[in-house]
Structure 1
């Protein structure tokens, strides 16, 4: 294992960089401070010898950086935008001030994704110092500011700049460490479709007495939502599961070997239970290989204190589908429309939100994956936890489709990191270990051993 003292100055500098980046409120959903954050990231990269090119995106600039020379080329993907900080009253410290408490660093973006970016930059600094100021491999870095709004510019950009981004493999933007200190590596991501269902039955709200003769849009929406899945969580839209690629035996074995994290999830989020009373094996199988439907929000009518006897004129529901390899986002939308029509709910309008994303998954036997696993073993001194797929989504598919690269997600998150929620955090020890892993991984790729 790498001795922590070897990396102390780089870890301290990385922590200062992280504090400066967290202070920049780069909320892409609201268009806040995106050019300023892109400029700050550019300065950090240029200070380490990277040539940085900036390209316009639909929401925020995209950055492509390059430095180093050698027989191997590594592509790193990160993003500098963050989720909105609301609700503010649930934060125990200011969301845009990096705050240390009890061995953790709190702040919006501390984990997702500024902490990940900074930990990798610290590893690059340390490696350069070990090699007389030179990088012994070529590092290409793609950093966007639109990931939290669905990366609307990224797929076309990767296709158009495939030659500029060519590499032997891609180090993805996130990853984690288990409660007992083992590195957690993911080799894929689920796809996603974000939608809004809307219903209107009148031009204005009505007295609720008219509910005896006029239909209620919230009832119509409730009927629609209730028709989409059963109590076990299985989606009931005809054709939804058609064409799904089953996991390989190696993928299934990897998922079966995963630890039981249900207790940690319950403790972190106060979860009352799991669909179907899933045991550890079923929980891990679902998280890696099963698609899902999620209702994100149900809106309409009166919601303030007391009673208001109103028949709402309209309402809407926001939802997302998490998809697995073999499911086409566009086809899922068509199947949803056909299903609603068959349920005599043709008045329910479907609005597609943000960009759809396909699922993607890398073979665990790929040499790039094996190099990452070896670096994780050497830096953490323990066997990695390997997820064939993350339960979350992201724009990995264009990288595999247009660049043909294997993708590995390994980083500094933790099961109690509260990503996208108030009190987002990383553990200080995981940041330190992440820098050590980065050095070992870069060395492994540069030397082949």
Structure 2
């Protein structure tokens, strides 16, 4: 990964570049000395779930209007201000527009307000899990995303499912029925009839397929950007799913997305790229910047092991080359594209598999022991309102404990020697003291 955390990670993942302001300012924030959320198009965004004491008077009347006003007040372009976190070379969607390509955004640099958001704001309380209520307003965080976004695809909100809730997962496991685990509009199960990120994207995608198969003009955008955030998890926060379930929720959304595209008329012309915006100091035995990225298409080389260095910008360069988009800056212009494709496609469709999770490990309820109680207490102290506002070391420890138990110590963060050299410098051989032999008094 080119990034350290979400503040610079969303820039690297969509613009192949961060900015000097972001690189400096987010470190102040991570040390609890900085401003509130100042990234992804926002300027000093407060926690509005529930609204802060400073804003609370505004929610006495029309909560939707007040919440919309609060959010727009913290969007620089809506106030005529410059967004210091914005790279001068802008973003992938701007590059697509310059190339004359259509594009659509699902939850990235977008703020979506749900019915439950409005109810919680009006009652000045926190939301409960899950929020599968209808989206009532979508606000683009960048002017170039106006009229290019899904109005119902939820942005970062850990109460909203990527694909499924715990109840829907349980229903899908029932051998007496044929329930769909995904929360979708029109799901026969009333508890699963609602809004999930997968469900809203599927509804649009199926509409694209139907229009193309009917011989109408193809409405499918040349480039779509989706945000599926629930593998952030909420640690062991009481009343929320376990980390294992939230990661499974995220995985199943990915699987169903690939299943839908690979089973459609678009498969022979499609490529799907998935990347984390940052590794968030994950314990990795090579380097804490290393993370998983997925490139999925009918043209992938089967079983190939590629010995080339690839990073976030390599993926962006690959996307640009496939779409015929000019590089945005010197970094993606010089990046090595991903060497994973072949000329002959394998059009076999993918079938998503419902994840297997232990029945007693779906929701975080009462603590099982003293150690669990301590980690649950630490989870309650974390800020999950915005991406990566929880303390990364603490959250990683919580997740490690939830998976491995109390008898396993989480490994520390590793760094490549090159990073250490950049941070500490390289010792000059002339400055290195050479041990001398002890003097022989005889």
Q: TM-score, normalised by structure 2?
A: 0.22
Structure with the bigger percentage of strand: 1
> Relative contact order, CA 8 A, sep 6+: which one is greater?
1
